[in-house]
Amino acid sequence: MKDATRCIIHPTVSTEGFDSLAVPVHRASTILFKDAATYAARTQRDLDGYSYGLHGTPTTRTLEAQLTALEGGLRTVLVPSGQAALAVVLLTVLMPGDCVLIPDTAYPPLTGLCRGYLEPRGIAWRIYPADGAGLAAMLDPSVRLIWMESPGSTTMEVQDVPAIVALARGHGILTGIDNTWATPLLFKPLAHGVDFSMQALSKYVGGHSDLLLGSVTVSDMDLRRRLRDTMRMLGLGISPDDAALALRGIETMALRMAHVGAVALDFATRLQAMPGMGEILHPALPGSPGHALWQRDFKGAAGLFSVVLPERADPLLDAALNGLQTFRIGSSWGGTRSLIAPMSVKSSRTIPHPRNDRTILRICIGLEDPADLWADLTALCTALGLDG
């Protein structure tokens, strides 16, 4: 064998006695076939087999299987971002002439996808109120999918998922949910009959603000096949390195979620007790929209909640935020670092509500010592005149 050939053919070493706790990272585009007949039959491989790196490696399959188990589903597909997960579901279900119903409180880039991509291609979308009022009257034969997001983006409204699923099923309509806030640790949509459970793995699963990934889990093989068909045609797949980061993140997710959930609820409760405070939007607080539904359906609360600022605090906000010591200013969330993001929801909402006109501080609790975070938050409240 000449050296140039030797450079290309890697020696095979024994894996005997090597049993690592870490999931191996398998990088691959080409998959080899043991003989000509197997190669000729490659298109008959079922979707759980290996045909090309884009369509799965043992690393990505491990993440799929782990998410499937946590979600209590049958199969999971993995895509490069949470937004791609939303897109893959909608592009799989909807044909020209069809309609999707979206809650008013959805992650705004979802309506961006509907308005900017689907609508010009003849797919309709309509907004319904997060509490489902009037939803039944909106159902007609063009409606193929009812989307949900619970709690809602920034304003944290909890939806009545079982009721919406029952309504949809009665009309042969599919349902899907953005379960990024709760993760399957706190809410299992498939157990309530939801057809597509979607997560931005970029948040709590990744857990360290350095990963972009999305997943969709289903309980039905045909839906899984249709999702995979869409992904194959669009050329969507994920890197095994990213899958390995997600698998590492999942190992600590239960502990991280329990911690940030407890700290966030403690802070939300203490903030609510401040005399000059605005409305606190946290599903576990009585009075927060959908609190009773949260109590009925969720196992706990995550580390993300919001504060509606009274109007008088607006002129003080920039200086107050600039004085933060431990919190950083930023959107996205679910990492180790605590974040505060001043949000305005008005431009992304169609159904009027008084809080849509207010500045809303979205607070993501991370893993810093709670005493440092509370010192920062109380200083912020003082600077905003909310503490008395």
180 binds ligand PLP (CB under 6 A): yes
CA nearest 290: which of 104, 137, 139, 161?
161
CA nearest 309: which of 335, 270, 276, 282?
276
* Minimum CB–partner distance for residue 79 and ligand PLP (Å): 9
Choose, by CB under 6 A, the member of 62, 66, 159, 202 that binds ligand PLP. 202
Treating both helix axes as pointing N-terminal to C-terminal, what angle do 240-272 and 370-384 enclose, rounded to 10 degrees?
A: 60
Q: What are phi and psi of 345, to 5 degrees?
A: -95, -10
81 binds ligand PLP (CB under 6 A): yes
* Minimum CB–partner distance for residue 271 and ligand PLP (Å): 22
300: exposed, middle or buried (C-beta count within 10 Å: 0-12, 13-18, 19+)? middle
239 binds ligand PLP (CB under 6 A): no
Amino acid sitting at position 337:
R
* Minimum CB–partner distance for residue 206 and ligand PLP (Å): 9
Query: What H or E segment, with its residue span, contains residue 311?
Result: none
How far is it, in rounded angstroms, from Cα 165 to Cα 174?
Answer: 8
178 binds ligand PLP (CB under 6 A): yes
SS3 149: strand
Choose, by CB under 6 A, the member of 200, 231, 253, 263 that binds ligand PLP. 200
* Minimum CB–partner distance for residue 185 and ligand PLP (Å): 15
As a whole number of angstroms, the longest Cα–Cα distance in the chain is: 82
83 binds ligand PLP (CB under 6 A): yes
CB under 6 A: which stretch of 77-85, 140-148, 263-271, 306-314 binds ligand PLP? 77-85
How far is it, in rounded angstroms, from Cα 323 to Cα 141?
Answer: 54
CB under 6 A: which stretch of 140-148, 197-205, 254-262, 293-301 binds ligand PLP? 197-205
25 binds ligand PLP (CB under 6 A): no
* Minimum CB–partner distance for residue 84 and ligand PLP (Å): 7
How far is it, in rounded angstroms, from Cα 65 to Cα 48?
Answer: 11
How far is it, in rounded angstroms, from Cα 221 to Cα 89?
Answer: 14
Which residues, 129 to 168, sit near ligand PLP by CB under 6 A?
Answer: 153
* Distance of alpha carbon 68 from the chain centroid: 15
* Minimum CB–partner distance for residue 202 and ligand PLP (Å): 4
Choose, by CB under 6 A, the member of 184, 214, 240, 290 that binds ligand PLP. 214
* Residue whose CB is less far from ligand PLP, 214 or 278: 214
* Residue whose CB is less far from ligand PLP, 176 or 370: 176
217 binds ligand PLP (CB under 6 A): no
Choose, by CB under 6 A, the member of 70, 75, 105, 107 that binds ligand PLP. 107
Q: What are phi and psi of 262, to 5 degrees?
A: -70, -45
* Residue whose CB is less far from ligand PLP, 154 or 356: 154
* Residue whose CB is less far from ligand PLP, 127 or 316: 127
88 binds ligand PLP (CB under 6 A): no
Residue number of the CB atom closest to ligand PLP: 82
The answer to whether 302 and 265 have CB atoms below 8 angstroms apart is no
CB under 6 A: which stretch of 89-97, 198-206, 269-277, 335-343 binds ligand PLP? 198-206
How far is it, in rounded angstroms, from Cα 265 to Cα 285?
Answer: 8
* 3-state percent helix, strand, coil for the chain, nearest multiple of 5: 45, 15, 45
Strands, sheet with 339-343, edge to edge from the N-terminal-most edge strand: 280-281, 304-308, 360-364, 339-343, 328-329
Amino acid sitting at position 184:
P
Using CB under 6 A as the binding criterion, the count of chain residues that bind ligand PLP stands at 12
Choose, by CB under 6 A, the member of 73, 82, 249, 278 that binds ligand PLP. 82
* Distance of alpha carbon 331 from the chain centroid: 14
203 binds ligand PLP (CB under 6 A): yes
Binding positions for ligand PLP, rule: CB under 6 A: 81-83, 107, 153, 178, 180, 200, 202-203, 212, 214
